[in-house]
Amino acid sequence: MRSARILRSVLSLSTIAAMPLVVLTVAAPLPTGAAFAAASMDAKELDFTPSELRLWKDPETGNHFWYFTYEVVNNTGKDQRFAPRIELLVDDGRIVRQGDGVPTRVNRDLKEFLGDALLEDQFEILGIVLQGKTHAKSGLVVFRADDLDPTELTVMVQGLSKETEKRQNPKTGETVTLRKTVRIDYLVAGDPRPSGTQTYPAVSRGWIFR
């Protein structure tokens, strides 16, 4: 049964943007990897490099949490204020915001487990990002995992670009402001529970307006 869901996941990754709970206007996708970073720098946006996705089981409660780390570098030519909004879109349409329902202790335990003294949680990382690689910031993102059945997980990151678009809401007719957002798709193949060290690399990445 799960193998069938995984096959459907592979076929349906391109349809995530059409889910009814999210109003999206898809822009032309950017290349991945180094080309993605170069395009970000050319467009005067903060350079955002995420890690693979992992699952953490809290030894105290047995609850599970999805997490990843990232580096943000300011190559825009001037200091930039960084206040990211990071959300997880599950393949059934649910949206989970970074940190919601995540105990402070879990963030602390993960930072200790990862052994990176420079990692900052969602509150610590808020503020000015100075220019250049030497002033890069490293962030930790944690989402509660209400269930482990979803095979498609999409991360949405706002706050890297100031670019916006105004579009008409097709349902209400009202004009809404969409913000340029990084979208990162992950595919969870197999049961993630047996090993907390299993990693899930991003399968696609690009810019959208949301």
Q: Are 52 and 68 in contact (CB under 8 A)?
A: yes
pLDDT top residue among 48 and 29: 48
Torsion sign over Cα 111, 112, 115, 117? positive
The answer to whether 196 and 9 are in contact (CB under 8 A) is: no
> Which amino acid appears at position 83 of this protein?
A
Amino acid (1-letter code) at residue 72: V
Report the predicted TM-score, pTM, of the whole model to 2 decimal places. Answer: 0.78
Host domain of residue 142? 2-209
Rounded CA-CA distance 180/178 in Å is 7
Number of domains in the chain: 1
CA 37 to chain centre: 16
Give residue-wise pLDDT tens across range 2-11: 444 443 443 3
pLDDT tens by residue, 81-130: 999 999 999 988 899 999 999 999 999 999 999 999 889 999 999 999 99
Residue 21 has pLDDT above 90, yes or no: no
How far apart are the C-alpha atoms of 74 and 146, rounded to whole Å?
A: 34
